[in-house]
Structure 1
């Protein structure tokens, strides 16, 4: 057992000290702080943006009602009534004096129409607000032509009351679902990339030791099964360490900028009111997903003796992770579908799909517990089978990138 803990600590600390781990962690932590403080960083670099200024050529006596409607819709857009030649206005727009210029006129029905010209129409916020203001003016004038009162016009423009209520007690509201969708989306990406990275790391670790012939020395003092689980646990601890650092950095960054996050981008993603239970579930499904795929990766990594063959051998495993991720992405729009429910109990998809259902729905407590139980049972079965393959696979050398080699590895195990 001492040899097991020695190998576990070696796997853990050797990966913890690598430049790739340190650099990745530092970059992600920096990205978290940059993302949380994004608006402040942009403001400090570029300064406060000046409000857009638009020149207005009024050819239909529409400026007054138009400016009134625009002021109610967006007070930041400045408009200025001008009487200039269009060529002069074009030059002033190109020189940056105006964001653009608007030509107001009337059509054959004496209703407002307009043409907006600018160097670029990519700033949709400006022309969208100009259009909505003009639409309001048109509605008023059309109502006058039809002899409609202001009350009748308001009644026509008022959208119908349409509310959605769930019949099941405790079901999430539309707002809660939107917030949950954002945080689940982010955490799903984390689970997906983490499982791929650390499972691949496990396979590479085994293949590297085999290619350097270190394995021949190790198996004389430590059993292959102990080696396999020591590597899996060691690299799993590396993943947990990185997860803890990132969560601590995220919590610190968010807690320091909580006021700036209210009502903005982060609140829409659900970060402003993230439940601790959701983070705990993310950690649990990350760990279970890692151990499931890392055991499979160690099994596959033991079959190759060249680092170049690792990616080809573990490609089917990578596809399994990707399929689970894409199913979860589909489930973001329809988490209650039968397909998603069934997929959440398929072991290789459970870490992401069951986590999706936990985050998006108020499901019964037994469902995630059953999912965890299925994962644990799958890990035990795969660990038992993987140990048999690993024990013989580490003794196989030469070109080996076929799944037929699993049978050879098991035969070698029986002959030992």
Structure 2
């Protein structure tokens, strides 16, 4: 490989890896991932200890076992307080919560210093259970009959287009695809936008003139794209590793069924992510070369960003209809392939020839984008005017 290209690549890569912004953002994202994956422990920590509870009951049945079955973990003391005594017990700190439960009518009066919404629901559920049991016994209705009436009907669904996945596996796969699509979307947007920002910064500081004098614009463009791709892979690998290790004991991660994340899924994610990144990064680098200031970058990159947003929105809306004919057709259009084909591969049984065809079309599109993009980059990288659209017209007319 060309020595000048490798020099530019190493310089750009090391510059990004040593940048304070990279180190700080990585550290913040790691802290966020650790916090998110342990959100239940954090909530329990802030929630503090279980409240001390006293129950004043005029019911015929023993309410304490029923309250325990409803999920209350605190120690429950039975007291014979009046309403005023219950208020005094909470006020002087003897108990944090006092619940008065009556049977005529069935009412729960909850006295506490602060709102106890979950406890209120548990008390209400327990009292309803006691009331229902009394109604059943007084009506001489066989409990087995009521249980039979309340039993749900078993419904089985056989899916023919999901590659052997049952309904539960399909739901887990959909949740996983939802997360991975977000990951793919944000990384392409963030790291693709980084290319435009860096080119504009190098042009505004006149560093670009020194870099271009040492290597051709084509080498500079490819080194920029590949170095940022390497940074993204390093950062994402670190974040995914930390997130997976930290979230192994979290119920939130259990719902994503990370155990079903097969090698095949990782390979497809990696392939379609890289293909999408290189396609959009090439377009963004070409358009970014037309601007001289970071403030002007948005006006030329809006079309590409809109394509990424459109691909992401279509993918999200297609989660419940991955076999739709429009989704199938759009999955072969290179701008939508990275997300839509990945969606189809994860949720349906896609023939291998379609996967290979979509990858081939992406490869051709990236080659075409590189061919056109290098012409844009060669003509725009040393352009310092304030009108990028004017420079674009000059490039297209061959007058750069």
The answer for the alignment partner of 1:141 in structure 2 is 134
Cα shift at 1:162 = 2.7
The answer for the alignment partner of 2:23 in structure 1 is 22
Cα shift at 1:326 = 2.5
Aligned in 2, Cα 1:120/1:49: closer, same or farther, shift over 3 Å? closer
> How many Å separate the matches in 1 of 2:214 and 2:239?
37
Cα shift at 1:252 = 4.5
Cα shift at 1:139 = 2.7
Aligned in 2, Cα 1:100/1:409: closer, same or farther, shift over 3 Å? farther
Secondary structure of 1:396's partner? coil
Deviations 1:68-114 (A, max 9, x none): 4333342525444332232332354464823452433234xxxx444
1:265 matches 2:276: no
What are the residue-to-residue correspondences of 1:58-137 with 2, within 5 Å? 58-59=57-58, 61-64=59-62, 66-74=63-71, 76-93=73-90, 95=93, 97-107=95-105, 112-116=106-110, 118-121=112-115, 123-124=117-118, 126-137=119-130
Decide which of 343, 352, 362 is 1:356's aligned counterpart: 343
> How many Å separate the matches in 1 of 2:376 and 2:162?
49
The answer for the alignment partner of 1:215 in structure 2 is 208
> How many Å separate the matches in 2 of 1:405 and 1:333?
44
Cα shift at 1:280 = 2.4
Cα shift at 1:394 = 1.9
Cα shift at 1:295 = 0.6
Cα shift at 1:203 = 1.0
Secondary structure of 1:182's partner? helix
Deviations 1:264-317 (A, max 9, x none): 222112234432322222222221121111111111111111222113322332
> How many Å separate the matches in 1 of 2:302 and 2:88?
58
The answer for the alignment partner of 1:317 in structure 2 is 304
> How many Å separate the matches in 2 of 1:81 and 1:284?
64
Q: What's the TM-score once normalised by structure 1's chain length?
A: 0.83
Structure 2, unaligned runs of 5 or more:
none
Structure 1, unaligned runs of 5 or more:
none
Cα shift at 1:386 = 1.1
> How many Å separate the matches in 1 of 2:364 and 2:15?
30
> How many Å separate the matches in 2 of 1:170 and 1:302?
45
Decide which of 289, 296, 300 is 2:283's aligned counterpart: 296
Q: How many residues align?
A: 398
Q: Residue 172 of structure 1 contacts residue 362 of structure 1 at CA under 8 Å; is this kept in 2?
A: no
What are the residue-to-residue correspondences of 1:230-249 with 2, within 5 Å? 230-249=223-242
Secondary structure of 1:103's partner? strand
Please provide the CA RMSD for this pair.
Answer: 3.0
1:189 matches 2:190: no
Deviations 1:338-385 (A, max 9, x none): 444344333223222332333333433334333322322221222111
What are the residue-to-residue correspondences of 1:310-389 with 2, within 5 Å? 310-389=297-376
Aligned in 2, Cα 1:70/1:279: closer, same or farther, shift over 3 Å? same
The answer for the alignment partner of 2:169 in structure 1 is 176
Q: What's the TM-score once normalised by structure 2's chain length?
A: 0.86
Decide which of 164, 171, 182 is 2:157's aligned counterpart: 164
